[in-house]
Amino acid sequence: MPVERGSLNPGTAERRPRITIVGSFMTDLMSRSPHLPVPGETVMGGPFQMGPGGKGANQAVAAARLGSDVNILVSLGKDQFGDFAYNNLLREGIGVEFVKRVEGMSTGAALIIVDDAKGENMIVVAPGSNSALGADDVDKGIQVILDSDYVLMQLEIPLETVEYTAKLAHASGVKVILNPAPGRPLSDELLRAVDVLTPNETEASIVSGITVTDLATAELAGKALVRRGCPTVIVTMGGLGVLVVDANGAQHVPGFKVDVVDTTGAGDAFNGALAAALAEGLGMRDAARWACAAAAISVTRIGTSVATAHRDEVEAFLAGRP
């Protein structure tokens, strides 16, 4: 039976979409606060929660829960948080053959404060062992990368590793999605090796040099990045949805109105779902709408990967939307 494409129902196909994540794991240490503190201010908050996180691991969980066959290349410390990370990846059905364990380095951690009133957040990342993921680790996982439909990366690992992986995958015909978060300047050489770039407004401003505040400026930034060599740029804009920009122009994909509880990890839910949808064969606009739905569900829950939706939840959510 031929592989069905475009249905987002890999259970009917002989071969599930294959996605490789080259990225980070962070142990999320989170508390809620009545408001985000200003410098020097101590705020009484709570409760405290610890959970699995990091952009790479979050995006891997999002794609796996939507039915993709996911492998991850990630670097963990040989510590309690590293064990926690490894066991969580196993529990989510993510391939761990190329998980690296590093002696003498702590597993990455993220300190997160969430505004109880608005659901907005502040995050400080301590990368730890994520900084040890190098080109040699990518070489060890080269076959799983070459067997992938999409490689998905972020910027919580060394930029040199991201560049090396993107060029390797691109040269071999494997599609590359780069979520440029945290935002930093990127070379034209890297942009030319990326098929889909997914910055938020802040990241789009940093990468393009154009301040993004609305759909019009997002279009300007997106077009500037397309001219620099990236075929498709998707600017994520929270409740506004996303703007998909390519050589043919810009398309706005509206977001979904939901009751926001916690925006932490929404971008990761979007990116994991986008990769899953594209690998399944959906067109860019339809894939972006699917990903917006996954992100909308995630912000109605507390946490990052633990808040990520499963396939049946996204399907039910979309079934109730025009």
Interatomic CA distance for residues 109 and 79, integer angstroms: 12
Dist CA 165 CA 167 (whole Å)? 6
Helix or strand run (H / E) with residue 126: strand 121-126
Q: Is 268 one of the annotated active-site residues of the chain? A: yes
H helix and E strand count, the chain: 11, 13
Query: How does strand 26-33 pair with strand 48-53?
Result: antiparallel
Determine the residue type at 56: G
Q: Which contacts qualify for 238-246: CB closer than 8 Å, 24 or more apart?
A: 238/200, 238/201, 238/263, 238/266, 240/215, 241/292, 242/270, 242/288, 242/291, 242/292, 243/215, 243/218, 243/219, 244/284, 244/285, 244/288, 245/218, 245/219, 246/284
d(CA 291, CA 318): 11
- Among 79, 214, 268, 312, the one annotated catalytic: 268
Query: Residues with catalytic annotation?
Result: 268
